[in-house]
Amino acid sequence: MSQTTEKVRKTLARRYRAEKRFKAFGLGAIGIGLMALVLLFTDIIGKGHSAFVEYEIQLPVTFDAEVMDVSDPRDEEQLNYGNYQGVIRDALADRFPGVESRLDTRALNQLVSTGAGYALRDMLREDPSLLGETRTLWLLADDDVDLFLKANEKQREDSRLNEKQQAWVAELEASGETRMVFNQSLFSYGDSREPEQAGILGAILGSLFTMIVTLVLSFPIGVAAAVYLEEFAPKNRFTDFIEVNINNLAAVPSIIFGLLGLAVIIGLFGLPRSVPLVGGIVLTLMTLPTIIISSRAAIKAVPPSIRQAAMGLGASKMQVVLHHVLPLALPGMLTGAIIGMAQALGETAPLLMIGMVAFIVDLPAGPLDAATVLPVQIYLWADSPEQSFESLASAAIMVLLAFLITMNTLAVILRKRLERRW
Amino acid sequence: MQTGNLLLLLVVMVAGAYYLGLRRSFALARPLGGIRHLHSLPFYFAMRSAMWCALPALVVLGLWLAFDDSIIRQQVLASLPAELQPTDASSYNLTLSKIQNVASGALPVNFVEPPIAAAAEHLQSLRQTSAMALTVVVIVLCMFGGAWAWLKVSPQLRARQQVERVLQTLFMLCATVAILTTVGIVMSVLFESIRFFGKVPVTDFLFGLQWSPQTALRADQVASGGAFGAVPLFMGTMLISAIALLVAVPVGLMSAIYLAEYASKRVRTVAKPALEVLAGVPTVVYGFFAALTVAPFIRGMGESVGLDVASESALAAGLVMGIMIIPFVSSLADDVITAVPQAMRDGSLGLGATKSETIKKVIFPAALPGIMGGILLAASRAIGETMIVVMAAGLAANLTANPLEAVTTITVQIVTLLTGDQEFDSAKTLAAFALGLMLFITTLVMNIFALHIVKKYREQYD
């Protein structure tokens, strides 16, 4: 046996060990990546799932005309200024007799959400004959009560409720006078200072209008630009310059687009702040490179034989493009557009710059109404000190991720279904 | 008439022009013996009419809407008596909003000086006149354009060529949007930055060690100057990006190597898209995760071993940002590793090297330039990333290299400077644009450099 072979044999075990170690590192790296993903999702779901339900408290409420100061429920003005909190206060006092001191009474009244009064008003509007009647109603609990009821034994020790309040709520819970229902307000209201009345509908509508503006602007412009660059552009400095610009824009930090929106679209053109129209324009500029690049790839994938055949039959260049290339490239372009839209939907930073970060309670009715979008709403809630907003933010994230997953799945399906392999 | 209604009317008129053009081309073709005696298909004659009807009107409409507001504003302000003329920018804005509020009815007339009320009335009437004139001009242009095109329809007219030329020009204009965007970005950050550097010297900004942008509203307040030394921000940005790269580069690179060289096809088809999901998660979600889960966790860990960790530590933001850019590193590295020619692998394996030795000594050096390019791209991502740091990193501009302390970054400061109460023209607001300029230049240089490396490397093996 030669010396070299001997040497190799001696080191072989060590080398194989190194090989195994290296492979394990690789596997570990993938493991870390996937674990981060799983951790992220479980954390969000763990925090957010409780926001999809909320607690209500059962109370026999008397629609007392005198307490409410409503003599005619058909009079809209009286109805709007009615003292519904007073009726609820009375109901609570009846349910827990013996609460005397002002401090305790106030603590007791805090059990029911301030939004419950509006529910009473709406009921009275629906059915004026309720005036003077007593009904057993389920009223929305305050967010601290809600958190207390959702918490386990150990978490309950850190509750923001004081001891008396905890005792009252525990009594209600034990006697079955609390119940868990689906959190409807989450999907039917805009933002609110009160967590139990806050919803994401306003943000979803804002996102919708912003996305519509983005799609309407970016898809035609992106496709037209891609067609020009692929089919018509002469090979010259100007075209090269356009290409360099597109590639660089794709890598510009999104916040810079926000600065552009603030300085040019709001500052120079004088469009209003905080509106989906401006947000849509900014996101259009941001997603255009993505759409142009993917549209160009789709156009490139159409084989030259198609063009040659059409030209051979006497079609003009424009006819070749509009009648043959574009329809064949459309699935690929749509896929690119959906992916670009998904990016735009999750974008936050540029929208902060153009003022879509305001506290807006009203639901936007169009792209010129002040609005916020889903990611910004998440940011706002994550920054709020109250604990309930944390789970609301998680719930909003779950909704946002659901939208994104749907869009990306759609893109994958579209690509599989429609894209032709030549 | 409202702009929306006007647009609707325009659509109707364009459709009408299209129809009339179509009718006329058929009518002209009939005595000649069918449409084959026309130069172009009737569709093109119709399109030509529609374009003549729509384009001039749309151009005028666009220009009018873009400029009528500022012209009216100037007219109204010029009509004010001399003593009410605004002298500086802030009084200009104040007077203007006063007039507009009176005009819109938000401010009762008897609350303001009579000249302002008169100006508001003037504003109202000018606006009405402008809207009316716009309507008339657009409709007239539409009709003349359509009529002109209709009259010009003849069998010899080269309608197809004309329509195609217009379309091609439109396509080209769409392509130039990319240039306009770049120009817009450069102009917007540059002009405001120049104004900022007029107030604060460039050297103070670039080399100053103190960042406290709170300028006083009144001159007699303490600390009225504000300090705009951006070094703590640059350091903070670099610290957080460095932590992110420390996480992302080893993990991303090793996963790419494993996926490209070791993994079976089944593992690859599952693991690769799963890793790429990380790139699709919105940054605000990472920010939420960093601020509400990772940061408290790290703080708790630090406390349990007796370390004092800031609740907005650079470590938490950096770690989560690292997770975010793993897929950027891994997919780019994957591309370059698979691009290394198979012959190099075969050669090394044939000489008796193990797989890991081949990777370490042959493939990795060959792929290094491409990998460096990928890392540079990831780094520029990290520097420009906003939401994670806004939510998880601090606002205090500490000049430190300790990852357990709170630092702030360029992007965080841009957001805080521009989302709070803004004072028009103050150094505080302008500073955000100067920071934006720095950010733009840095990322641009990194990207160009990275793309250059990647491109050069690709040519090497193609």
Interface contacts (A, B; CB < 8 Å): 253
Residues recorded for chain A: 422
CB interface of A with B, residues 20-59, below 8 Å:
22-23, 25-30, 32-34, 36-37, 40, 43-44, 47
Whether the pLDDT of residue B421 is over 80: the answer is: no
- Give the pLDDT band of residue B460 (cuts 50, 70, 90): low
Q: Does domain A201-418 have CATH number 1.10.3720.10?
A: yes
CA-to-CA separations, B302 to B297, B308, B310, in angstroms, rounded: 9, 6, 9
CB interface of B with A, residues 404-433, below 8 Å:
411, 414-415, 418-419, 432-433
Encoding tokens for residue B302?
Answer: 């630090």
* A341-373 pLDDT, tens digit each: 999 999 999 999 998 888 888 899 888 888 999
Q: What angle do CA B193, B196, B197 make, to 5 degrees?
A: 90
CB interface of A with B, residues 336-375, below 8 Å:
342, 345-349, 352-353, 355, 357, 375
**pLDDT on residue B32:** 87
Whether the pLDDT of residue A142 is over 70: the answer is: yes
Cβ of B140 under 8 Å from any chain A Cβ?
no
- Give the pLDDT band of residue B210 (cuts 50, 70, 90): confident
Question: Rounded to an integer, what distance in angstroms lies between the CA atom of residue A219 and that of residue A338?
Answer: 10
Chain B residues in contact with A241 by the CB 8 A cut-off are: 179
For residues A42 and A99, which has the higher predicted lDDT (pLDDT)? A42
Whether the pLDDT of residue A187 is over 80: the answer is: yes
* B304-360 pLDDT, tens digit each: 988 888 888 899 999 999 999 999 999 889 988 988 899 999 999 999 899 999 999
Yes or no, beta carbons of A228 and B444 under 8 Å apart: no
* B113-122 pLDDT, tens digit each: 788 888 888 8
Whether the pLDDT of residue B221 is over 60: the answer is: no
Chain B residues in contact with A378 by the CB 8 A cut-off are: 284-285, 288
Whether the pLDDT of residue B220 is over 70: the answer is: no
Question: Phi-psi category of A329—alpha, beta or left, where left has phi over 0 and alpha has psi -120 to 50?
Answer: alpha
Question: Rounded to an integer, what distance in angstroms lies between the CA atom of residue B54 and that of residue B6?
Answer: 12
Cβ of A315 under 8 Å from any chain B Cβ?
no
Whether the pLDDT of residue A397 is over 60: the answer is: yes
* B153-202 pLDDT, tens digit each: 888 889 999 999 999 999 999 999 989 999 999 998 999 899 999 888 88
User: Which residue among B174, B179, B418 places its CB closest to the CB of A228?
Assistant: B174
Residue A228 makes CB contacts below 8 A (sequence gap 6+) with B168, B171, B172, B174, B175
**pLDDT on residue B218:** 55
Specify the DSSP class assigned to residue A194: S
User: Which residue among B171, B192, B282 places its CB closest to the CB of A224?
Assistant: B171
Cβ of B127 under 8 Å from any chain A Cβ?
no
* B20-31 pLDDT, tens digit each: 999 999 998 888
Average pLDDT over chain A, rounded to whole?
Answer: 89
Architecture of domain B227-461: Orthogonal Bundle (1.10)
* A56-102 pLDDT, tens digit each: 999 888 888 888 887 887 778 888 888 888 888 888 888 888 888 88
**pLDDT on residue A128:** 83
- Give the pLDDT band of residue B242 (cuts 50, 70, 90): very high
With b for 16 or more beta-carbon neighbours within 10 A and e for fewer, the A173-185 pattern comes to beeebbeeeebeb
State percent of chain A over pLDDT 90. 44
All CATH 1.10.3720.10 domain ranges in chain B, comma separated: 227-461
Cβ of A271 under 8 Å from any chain B Cβ?
no
Q: What is the ipTM of this complex?
A: 0.90
Contact A53, A181 (CB under 8 A): yes
Residue labelled with tokens 């803004």: B422
Specify the DSSP class assigned to residue B404: T
**pLDDT on residue A266:** 85
Yes or no, beta carbons of B168 and A228 under 8 Å apart: yes
Distance from CA of B447 to the nearest CA of A (A): 7
